A = this chain, B = another copy of it.
Amino acid sequence: MRSREAILAQAVGLASVEGLEGLSLGKLATATGTSKSGFFAHWRDKEQLQLDAIEWAVRQWTEQVVAPALRAPAGVRRLFALHESRLRFYRQGVLPGRCFFFTVQTEFDDRPGPVRDRVAQAMGDWQTFIRRLVAEAKARGELLDGVDDAQLAYEVDALGERVISHIRLYDGPVVLVHARRAVLQRLRALCPDPTLLPED
């Protein structure tokens, strides 16, 4: 059998394009070279496979987006590094649909059940993480005291997320420049020390 991990990797890739529900077991079977019924030896039903795929995607996001940002010095530089790390993940096309969570969250946000709950928790964790980086930067005096944590976290997230739709519907790379500069200029306007961030 193809290893469980390889199947999940395929599932996350396909789901980043078609969604977790649009991903049919038949397509996943032929894509991984196995049979449809072979899945049920590893997963109770489709929902369990969806939940495991989410877990796999969370791990991938943590390793490839969050971890690199944590190697930057704490403060506003780390916050901007997180934004750039995310844009790099999109630019490199790690997933064929660019972002698993973007596709899945719009698919399940009004479909109650365990899958939606898990997605909501993952997105909440992400938002909380950005907010914590903002708070850290503020505590180090690298952002003006008046900054609202949740407010700035929303802006950073929004300016990064919209990249997906643009990159898929229009051309591509130019929107990455816009997304990068938007956050950079915003942070520079709030940061007392202009040497901490690149000029452009």
Contact = CB atoms under 8 A, between A and B. Distances in A.
Interface of A: 17, 19, 21-22, 97, 102-103, 105-107, 109-110, 119-120, 123-124, 150-151, 154-155, 157-159, 161-162, 164-166, 168-170, 174-175, 178-179, 181-182, 186, 189
B110 A165 contact: no
| Most chain B CB neighbours (cut-off 10 Å) among A119, A124, A154 | A154
B170 A124 contact: yes
How many copies make up the complex? 2
A190 to B, nearest CB: 10
A154 B163 CA distance: 9
A167 B19 CA distance: 20
B162 A178 contact: no
